[in-house]
Structure 1
Amino acid sequence: MTVTLHVCITCRADQAVRDGETTPGARLHSALLEAGVPEGVSVVPVECLSACSQGCSIALSGLGRWSYVYGRLSDANAPDVVAGAAAYAAAPDGIVPWRSRPAIFRKQSLARIPPIAVLPEAAE
């Protein structure tokens, strides 16, 4: 099953960005693509994750899984984000054991969101 790695490409990370300059969030997105997207992970750029005061942010989500929002990231963190996304994709419920998470996923988590319950009549 594919999971989604949302990357806020409008994040400015509290930096002044002039018109025409690449935002830190867009640089993170590019670095993730260059690092190699793990199997089972779809990288999707988004306009805003509303974590503006937390620097560059990403979110991991998948059907029937816990979702996570991480912040205070930069393009230098791309290898750890890719490793964390691969571990997330491999976990059936999205919960990666604490010690198996990259340090940035242990220390820079902004939110953990429970899976949406699907009611039997909604599945029809």
Structure 2
Amino acid sequence: MGTTLYVCTTCKAGEPVPEGDPRPGAQLHAALTAEPAPDGVRIIGVECLSACNTGCAISLSKPGAWSYVYGRLTLDDVPAILEGAAKYAATQDGIVPWRDRPTVFRKQSIARIPPHPLPEAAE
């Protein structure tokens, strides 16, 4: 199994959305899926990442690796999100060196979640 980039499609980016208008999260998902996904990455829309006060949110995960949740993302961040997802996918443990991460991944991280199951050496 490879890397999954989850995109919160129900996100309103902390703002009211007029009836019938697409939500910012759905727009972000559409923009990300309009581009070719990085090798080894699948992009999946999900209903809620429970990061409602942090603007549009995404999550990166893969089996046996650290997972991340990022927020305050906009359509302008699409190239950086795809770049970060590619770098994440290229790691064994999900840890991209800090300097190699796109700026939005360095500054807009909401959570880092340990791998499951946790490697025995870390227990």
User: Do the aligned residues in 2 keep the contact of 1:35 with 1:79 (CA within 8 Å)?
Assistant: no
Q: Is 2:52 aligned against 1:52? A: yes
Q: Which residue of structure 1 lines up, in the alignment, with residue 40 of structure 2?
A: 40
Which letter maps to 1:105? F
TM-score by length of 1: 0.92
CA deviations on 1:20-62 (whole Å, 9 max, x unpaired) are 1100001110111123210100101000000000000000000
Q: Which residue of structure 1 lines up, in the alignment, with residue 19 of structure 2?
A: 19
Which letter maps to 1:73? L
Q: Is 2:46 aligned against 1:8? A: no
CA shift in 2, pair 1:13/1:63, >3 Å: same
CA deviations on 1:78-108 (whole Å, 9 max, x unpaired) are 0000000000000110000001000000000
Q: Which residue of structure 2 lines up, in the alignment, with residue 122 of structure 1?
A: none
Which letter maps to 1:11? C
**Matched length:** 119
Q: Which residue of structure 2 lines up, in the alignment, with residue 91 of structure 1?
A: 91
Which letter maps to 1:98? W
Distance 1:89 1:63 in 2: 11
Q: Which runs of 5+ in 1 are unaligned?
A: 120-124
Q: CA deviation at 1:76?
A: 1.2
Which letter maps to 1:18? P
Structure 1 vs Structure 2: percent identity of aligned residues? 56
TM-score by length of 2: 0.93
Distance 1:6 1:112 in 2: 14
Q: CA deviation at 1:15?
A: 1.9
